[in-house]
């Protein structure tokens, strides 16, 4: 992997996407500012999650566009360098969006909220509490990394409408998983006589599969396993698209 090649990828990406990224920054800052006025201080989690998923689903789409305009896919770089550039770019954007939304939250909460709520305005949160609201749990980081890797793979696998096709693929996969879990749950709760019974449930008519011990104890490992799998698939797909 050549640092010079990766540097060219960064320069080309941010030059070509500067208008879209500027629009994203303005939207995120505005949302954080306006939401903090009504004390929705934890808006950064869903908004950044959605923004990075959209960017990931569009990351490799220029490769399939038939245009004579030059873009960073025309550079003589390897698949590994392209993948490294994609991962590192999304990480940079993640932290940049975090800082922007935290700054917007401070502006809205401490400067604009007192203007709109002049009568009886009370600030219930200090700066430390606002920063804590923007710190994600480990489970949320793992879920975020897994979902971004899936949509990044979708951007190089699907030629058009990658975000919608990836969403349909995820929904179909989750539906199949729910069916399999339901069947496994039934099998584990059938006794030797073939009768259905439920272990450790006082009310056998109200059973939630999501509360089952496997989902509760091991879902973090499922999230963690998604990221390397789909990054590897993305790399293999990039190798197939090399000319």
Mean pLDDT in order along the chain per 10 residues (243 residues):
76 82 91 86 85 90 62 70 90 92 88 74 74 80 89 89 90 86 71 52 49 57 82 89 65
Cα 197 to chain centroid, rounded? 39
Give, in degrees to the nearest 5, the angle at Cα 48 between 45 and 54.
135
Q: Decide: 112 and 37 in contact? Cβ < 8 Å.
A: yes
Q: How far apart are CA 209 and CA 11, in angstroms?
A: 48
Strand partners, 196: 190
Closest alpha carbon to 154 in 220, 234, 50, 217:
234
pTM: 0.77
Q: Decide: 62 and 73 in contact? Cβ < 8 Å.
A: yes
């Amino acid at each position: 992997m050549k640092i010079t090649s990766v540097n060219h990828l960064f320069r080309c990406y941010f030059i070509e996407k500067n208008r879209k990224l500027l629009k994203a920054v303005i939207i995120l800052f505005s949302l954080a500012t306006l939401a903090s006025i009504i004390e929705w201080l934890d808006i950064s989690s869903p908004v950044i999650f959605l923004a990075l998923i959209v960017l990931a689903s569009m990351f490799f789409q220029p490769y399939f566009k038939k245009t004579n305009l030059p873009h960073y896919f025309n550079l003589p770089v390897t698949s590994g360098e392209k993948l490294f550039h994609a991962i590192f770019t999304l990480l940079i954007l993640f932290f940049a969006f975090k800082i922007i939304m935290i700054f917007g939250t401070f502006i809205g909460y401490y400067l604009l909220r007192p203007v709109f709520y002049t009568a009886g305005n009370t600030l219930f949160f200090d700066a430390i509490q606002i920063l804590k609201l923007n710190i994600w749990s480990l489970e949320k980081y793992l879920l975020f990394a897994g979902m971004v890797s899936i949509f990044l793979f979708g951007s190089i696998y699907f030629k058009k409408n990658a975000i919608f096709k990836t969403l349909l693929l995820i929904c179909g996969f989750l539906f199949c998983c729910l069916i399999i879990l339901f069947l496994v749950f039934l099998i584990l709760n059938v006794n030797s006589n073939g009768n259905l019974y439920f272990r450790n449930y006082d009310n056998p008519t109200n059973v939630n599969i999501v509360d089952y011990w496997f989902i509760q104890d091991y879902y973090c490992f499922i999230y963690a396993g998604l990221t390397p799998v789909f990054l590897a698939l993305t790399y293999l797909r990039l190798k197939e698209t090399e000319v």
